[in-house]
Chain A
Amino acid sequence: MAPDFRTYLASSIVSDGDTVTYRTLSRALKVHVNAAKCMLYEFHQKENTKSPGSVYATYLLSGRKKHNLLTVVPNKPQVNVDSSFINGDVPMPSSPPMGPPSSFLPASQETEKLEEPTEMKVKTITLCREELLESVKEQYEHITAIHIYSLSPSRLGDLQGLTDCNRTVFTDYHAKQDPLIHNKDYGIIQNPHARRRKGKRPVNFDAAQPKFEPVKDEKSASKPAPASAFGSKTTTAKPDLKREDSATSRPSSRDSTSTTQSLSKPNLKRDGSSLFKAFAKQSSKPKLERKNTDTSADSNIKMGGMDDNADEGESEDEAVFLDTNTRQSGTGSRKRPSDTQREREERQAKLRKMMDDDDEEPAVPKVSEATDMDAEPPAAKNGEDADAKEGDVEEDEDNDVAWSDSDTEGKKTKKEHKKAKEEEEAAPKRRRGRRKVMKKKTMKDEDGFLVTREEEGWESFSEDEPEPVRKAFAPVPKPAAQKTQSQTQNQKSSAAKGAAAAAAAAAAGGKKKDIMSFFGKR
């Protein structure tokens, strides 16, 4: 490998004129990043002795800078703010109001207020050009690490351009090789307990949620029925057909966005929450007749109910309705699946309490058939969870038989109740409300420069389908102020793309989903 790196660097820097960072070099030659740094150093030295100035380097220094003797003087609560400037940091806008990243937590500050003024240790990392290297080094009291960051054929006018170099690391390498396996080769620090998930990818809840499985009220003989109903869905092979049903039904609820479903249906409202119905916003999706399909009651029902709520909750920019006190509104906030699951669990727990259940297993995979409302925890489709579920489902299946004999009456009434609810909600499908939107405002700041800020604003919307949300969305981010047309130039192209994209999306419609699912995530 040793002689190869010189040819590689010569061809890419000198001939192609690209900028090479130590990261791209390590990925290209499949070496540890520290080895790549050494290679860059050697190449830089050699080329510059051969022909001076032919290769230009940038360096990365870490360590402690000299001027960080910050004294925490008591009775000076604003020390936190000043320290960021003192250390040479520029305070970056961050959403949660935290102290500047380089200082200690405020808690420790408070204890220190009463003590003698103490030092704050600040680790500083600087990316600097080769001509400024010596001057930057002098600013450091103690350098813990110094290495070459990148080599380029000529002086870099804009250091920001280096960000583009590392983009290839993600597109070319991370996408194609499994990072968990290769991280060690490249020297990436990895959590030894990290594991890759088995099972399906969690669904992107921001996308429209097509619909869930038809309800299974009664689990009578119909196990094969579900199998056919969900035949179009593909999941990882499961040994048992029964398990397959429930397992497929569960993941299928997750995969609703990616797979086409012969019954791509809208939501089934579970009656479970009559209370919720009262407050809930009408779902725009047509309801599916539950009568047809029977599958194992548990997961599908729950999933449906949950996803219904999830759908309402998760859809973009819904104002707070339901029990969504935990929800942050705003277009920008996308909750993590784990958060959404937790919320779902809470919701499910509430639902369960409200229902008269025969059996309540609090909050856990054990499904109670009688109450169709019982939700399984929405379940990350983790490997573990899936396994756990499988076990539970099996149990349920066994119980099914027993129950179908004894509890059909109870179920029938519930089923009717549900149907009634369905119908009443079938009519109004519009979603209305006010939602929070991030609007961009352009204004002049004190120096006379144009500054663009994103601010929250409210706008009312009403929709029939999810599609118009997308379309309406794409042109919305156009800044109201037309002062910065240059800004709009950039955004015009992106808004044009967005509009074009939305138009194409509307045109292509469901068909596109097939194609896209084939290609996977782009």
Chain B
Amino acid sequence: MSNLASSVTTSTNLLKTHRALVDTLCSFLTVLSHHLLYLRRIYPPVSFVTTRAYNYPVRQNRHPDVCAWINDAVAAVHNQLTRNTVQTVSLCIFECTNHEVLERWTVDLKGFQAVQQRDRDVPFAELEEGEGEEDLQMIVNVTDLEANFRALLSRLATVAGKVRPLPEGEGAPECSFTLTVEVKEGGDKPVGRLQKEERAWVAAEPDPFSPSSEVGSQTAQSATKSGKTHPVRRLEVGELRLEMFVEESDIKFTLPTTHKTTMERAAELSYGAGTEKFDPVHGYDLEKPDINRKPNGGTSTDYQRG
């Protein structure tokens, strides 16, 4: 249904005005949050349902509180975006005992246009006509937008596989997540509001990742700076420009996980050529089928994080 009027020559309304841009970005952030929660196994896989976004299979959590929380958080981000205060938006995964951030999935919006409130519904300047084929390349339509989002999500899945799994197993702390925004220089910080309705944000601890916070500091609390950063993708579609990357903190590497190192996994690799032969006498047992048994393999038993 979204393709009803989309043709190669018409540009999408989703990116024409600043308001539309912000809406598109926020819906993408929602999809992203849900999918990241699945990829990082914050919640049990069984609570996620497979759905389709931008023509890509994506996971969505179905717990009402999780949904409500994400919607509220994205709404608050939306609010800040319209006030042009946002530099980056991040999904931070932290562990619950010391509130140390383990991973940070960041969407960098420094290329995002800052537009006055009154201009929010003004369409962005169109390209000049009469350029021939170049016009077609510059004009954005829904298909292009979807393709870009798909590429980003696909790359996200790849990077999520590369990143070390979150702590799991005995002695591992619980992990949780939150959305943070980094405010532009001189931007109006949305904290310290007195009215209840406006208290959507809390000031965060100084950033453990950025180099500036460590200069000269000797406190044990400041994390060592040798975390890892992995780029995900840069997206430029019309006026929507963002970059995505993920940072892993050092603390994460110190925590236990059931992750197997690549060497271990390689040693167990079989390439599918079995050595056992099927033995009809002893080969199979006739245990009674358990009708409540969940199917083996597949996603519902993919609970291990590594």
- Report how many residues on chain A are interfacial, defined by Cβ distance under 8 Å: 87
Q: List CB contacts (< 8 Å) of B172-230 with chain A.
A: none
Chain B residues touching A, majority SS = mixed
* Neighbour of A157 across the interface among B51, B61, B160, B268, CB < 8 A: B160
Assess the B161–A155 pair: CB atoms within 8 A.
yes
Min C-beta distance of A499 to chain B, whole Å: 9
Assess the B53–A490 pair: CB atoms within 8 A.
yes
State A422–B8 Cα separation when bound (angstroms): 40
Assess the B262–A53 pair: CB atoms within 8 A.
yes
State A270–B14 Cα separation when bound (angstroms): 46
Min C-beta distance of A22 to chain B, whole Å: 14
Assess the A152–B158 pair: CB atoms within 8 A.
yes
Assess the A160–B50 pair: CB atoms within 8 A.
yes
Identify the stretch in A24-32, A81-89, A102-110 within 8 Å (CB) of chain B at 4 or more residues: A81-89
Assess the B283–A56 pair: CB atoms within 8 A.
no
Given the complex, which residues of A lie within 8 Å of B84, measured CB to CB?
Answer: none
Assess the A70–B289 pair: CB atoms within 8 A.
yes
Assess the B63–A449 pair: CB atoms within 8 A.
yes
Whose C-beta in chain B lies nearest to the C-beta of A82? B291
Question: Interface digits, A145-164 against B, CB 8 Å rule (1 contact, 0 not)?
Answer: 01110001111111111011
Q: Known contacts being A501-B6, A504-B10, is A67 close to B289, with CB within 8 Å?
A: yes
Given the complex, which residues of B lie within 8 Å of A306, measured CB to CB?
Answer: none
Assess the B266–A48 pair: CB atoms within 8 A.
yes
State A132–B51 Cα separation when bound (angstroms): 25
* Neighbour of B67 across the interface among A18, A141, A484, A500, CB < 8 A: A484
* Neighbour of A501 across the interface among B3, B26, B162, B287, CB < 8 A: B3
User: Is there a chain A Cβ closer than 8 Å to B269's Cβ?
Assistant: yes
Q: Known contacts being A158-B157, A450-B62, A500-B14, is A519 close to B7, with CB within 8 Å?
A: yes
Question: Most A CB atoms within 10 A — which of B30, B56, B269?
Answer: B269
Assess the A164–B53 pair: CB atoms within 8 A.
no
Assess the A159–B298 pair: CB atoms within 8 A.
yes
Whose C-beta in chain B lies nearest to the C-beta of A88? B295
Q: Known contacts being A136-B297, A490-B31, A492-B27, is A504 close to B63, with CB within 8 Å?
A: no
User: Is there a chain B Cβ closer than 8 Å to A438's Cβ?
Assistant: no
Given the complex, which residues of B lie within 8 Å of A128, measured CB to CB?
Answer: 297-298
Assess the B5–A505 pair: CB atoms within 8 A.
yes
Min C-beta distance of A501 to chain B, whole Å: 4
Given the complex, which residues of B lie within 8 Å of A131, measured CB to CB?
Answer: 265, 268
State A483–B27 Cα separation when bound (angstroms): 16
User: Is there a chain B Cβ closer than 8 Å to A434's Cβ?
Assistant: no
User: Is there a chain B Cβ closer than 8 Å to A41's Cβ?
Assistant: yes
Assess the B67–A164 pair: CB atoms within 8 A.
no
Assess the A449–B289 pair: CB atoms within 8 A.
no
Q: List CB contacts (< 8 Å) of B1-52 with chain A.
A: 1-10, 12-14, 20, 23-24, 26-27, 30-31, 34, 38-39, 47, 50-51
Min C-beta distance of B95 to chain A, whole Å: 20
State A134–B273 Cα separation when bound (angstroms): 9
Q: Known contacts being A48-B269, A497-B1, A497-B142, is A136 close to B262, with CB within 8 Å?
A: no
* Neighbour of B150 across the interface among A86, A153, A164, A493, CB < 8 A: A164
Identify the stretch in A183-191, A273-281, A286-294, A508-516 within 8 Å (CB) of chain B at 4 or more residues: A508-516
Given the complex, which residues of A lie within 8 Å of B284, measured CB to CB?
Answer: 66, 141
* Neighbour of A496 across the interface among B14, B51, B160, B287, CB < 8 A: B14
Assess the B12–A154 pair: CB atoms within 8 A.
no
Given the complex, which residues of A lie within 8 Å of B59, measured CB to CB?
Answer: 158, 160
State A163–B64 Cα separation when bound (angstroms): 28
Given the complex, which residues of A lie within 8 Å of B283, measured CB to CB?
Answer: 141
* Neighbour of B23 across the interface among A52, A474, A496, CB < 8 A: A496
Given the complex, which residues of A lie within 8 Å of B286, measured CB to CB?
Answer: 69
User: Is there a chain B Cβ closer than 8 Å to A144's Cβ?
Assistant: no
Given the complex, which residues of B lie within 8 Å of A440, measured CB to CB?
Answer: none
State A233–B287 Cα separation when bound (angstroms): 70
User: Is there a chain A Cβ closer than 8 Å to B97's Cβ?
Assistant: no
User: Is there a chain B Cβ closer than 8 Å to A142's Cβ?
Assistant: yes
Question: Interface digits, A97-131 against B, CB 8 Å rule (1 contact, 0 not)?
Answer: 00000000000000000000000000000111111
Given the complex, which residues of A lie within 8 Å of B23, measured CB to CB?
Answer: 492-493, 496
State A303–B78 Cα separation when bound (angstroms): 54
State A354–B286 Cα separation when bound (angstroms): 68
State A157–B62 Cα separation when bound (angstroms): 19
Assess the B30–A489 pair: CB atoms within 8 A.
yes
Question: Interface digits, A55-91 against B, CB 8 Å rule (1 contact, 0 not)?
Answer: 0100100000011011000000000001001101110
Given the complex, which residues of B lie within 8 Å of A45, measured CB to CB?
Answer: 271
Q: Known contacts being A44-B271, A501-B1, A516-B7, is A485 close to B289, with CB within 8 Å?
A: no
Whose C-beta in chain B lies nearest to the C-beta of A445? B62
Q: List CB contacts (< 8 Å) of A467-500 with chain B.
A: 470, 473-474, 477, 483-487, 489-490, 492-494, 496-498, 500
Q: Known contacts being A130-B269, A486-B67, A522-B3, is A164 close to B154, with CB within 8 Å?
A: yes
* Neighbour of B4 across the interface among A127, A154, A161, A505, CB < 8 A: A505
Assess the A519–B299 pair: CB atoms within 8 A.
no
Assess the B161–A470 pair: CB atoms within 8 A.
no
Assess the B51–A490 pair: CB atoms within 8 A.
yes
Min C-beta distance of B275 to chain A, whole Å: 10
Given the complex, which residues of B lie within 8 Å of A508, measured CB to CB?
Answer: 5, 10
Q: List CB contacts (< 8 Å) of B255-276 with chain A.
A: 262-263, 265-272, 274
Q: Known contacts being A52-B266, A160-B57, A489-B31, is A483 close to B158, with CB within 8 Å?
A: no
User: Is there a chain A Cβ closer than 8 Å to B292's Cβ?
Assistant: yes
Given the complex, which residues of A lie within 8 Å of B87, measured CB to CB?
Answer: none
Assess the B50–A59 pair: CB atoms within 8 A.
no
Q: List CB contacts (< 8 Å) of A150-181 with chain B.
A: 152-161, 163-164, 167
Given the complex, which residues of A lie within 8 Å of B60, measured CB to CB?
Answer: 486-487, 490
Assess the B57–A67 pair: CB atoms within 8 A.
no
Min C-beta distance of B2 to chain A, whole Å: 3
State A489–B157 Cα separation when bound (angstroms): 21
Q: Known contacts being A141-B283, A489-B71, is A502 close to B4, with CB within 8 Å?
A: yes
User: Is there a chain A Cβ closer than 8 Å to B70's Cβ?
Assistant: yes
Assess the B287–A158 pair: CB atoms within 8 A.
no
Assess the B27–A500 pair: CB atoms within 8 A.
no
Given the complex, which residues of A lie within 8 Å of B292, measured CB to CB?
Answer: 85
Assess the B295–A90 pair: CB atoms within 8 A.
yes
Question: Interface digits, A285-319 against B, CB 8 Å rule (1 contact, 0 not)?
Answer: 00000000000000000000000000000000000
Question: Interface digits, A14-44 against B, CB 8 Å rule (1 contact, 0 not)?
Answer: 0001110000000000000000000001001
Given the complex, which residues of B lie within 8 Å of A504, measured CB to CB?
Answer: 4-5, 10, 13
Assess the B13–A500 pair: CB atoms within 8 A.
yes
User: Is there a chain A Cβ closer than 8 Å to B254's Cβ?
Assistant: no
Known: A48-B266, A500-B5, A501-B4. 12 other contacts (CB 8 A): A52-B266, A53-B263, A53-B265, A136-B297, A155-B162, A161-B154, A450-B64, A451-B62, A486-B67, A492-B23, A496-B23, A503-B13
Which 5 residue pairs of A and B lie closest in terms of their CB atoms, listed nearest first?
A53-B262, A52-B266, A154-B161, A497-B2, A501-B4
